[in-house]
Structure 1
Amino acid sequence: RYHPEKATQAACRYLKNALAKYGNWESVAASYNAGMARISKELDAQKSKSAYDLYLNDETSRYIFRLIAMKLIMENPKAYGYRISSDQLYTPVRTKTVEVNGPVEDWAAWAKSHGISYLTLRDFNPWIRAKSLPNKTGKTYRVEIPLADDMLRSTSKTHVYNPAWVVD
């Protein structure tokens, strides 16, 4: 939960396993919201092969359609009234990885020694949950440090992933 990259990898594994189990994306989406056990139970109990045909709680039923709506908007935002210029897009921040395999007595001091604030350190590494890291076992941790050029919008590079997203 606190490590975006690991959480994304876990979510992708979940979606892949759910697709192998159900064979359709609507049931995958419903299971991501309500859990595989719940959706499998409801598919069996309601004699259905797709979550589209299930009577579910409102949150899970809406979840499927919200994902479909977001997919359609992302494919063609202009068709749905979104007019965005490239300078309004989120600008990704590149990072460098620093490996830490010993204790860190004070993350704030560690951050300053790497040219960033404690706030920035925590923003880019939400898995850091305390002001120190005992690390008695010598485990290796990967700490992301943002590149200075990307921290200011004026010096960062904007990359438009999908030209259909902008009106430039």
Structure 2
Amino acid sequence: MTEGTAQGAAAGEAAGFAKFIELVKSTFNIQNIAGKALDSVYTVTNYTDVSLVTGSIYSQYEGSKCIGLGTIAETDISFCSTITKLGHVPGYVTGNTNSITAVIESNVKKIVADATTATVEFTKTATKAATDTITKQKTSEITATYMIYQSTIIASVVAILKKKDE
């Protein structure tokens, strides 16, 4: 059953990572970081690192010229607006980088928690499915092997009984 557990864990991690990417996109209205797709910036092994994710999203925010008097590029307006909307929490001060980082971090923590929950739930389901499949395969193998011996035993018994009748 170790094989089923390993298959379930791998499937669970993949599902959790997919959920993480989905939530980052929908929460922050962002498709990439520094010109790279989210699934190439983050991996199955690092997406739960809150400080890494917070830092990279903040860097994208800074690079988008959301702060200051600079012109906001057309493609960055929705991202900047989303961060501002997320900032309507106690303690947020517009333009204060510590407040912005705190807003991003609080949302990243929720995303990571939700993705981790998805990982655990999917792992349970996938492990059960993989274990059931493996159990069925092994049972079929055992049955097939048993049938070979059963045929041999039946043939031997029939031969003995025939010999006895003669």
Output the TM-score relative to the length of structure 1.
0.22
Q: Kindly indicate which of the two structures has a greater share of residues assigned to helix.
A: 2
Higher relative contact order (CA 8 A, sep 6+): 2
Q: Kindly indicate which of the two structures has a greater share of residues assigned to strand.
A: 1
Output the TM-score relative to the length of structure 2.
0.23
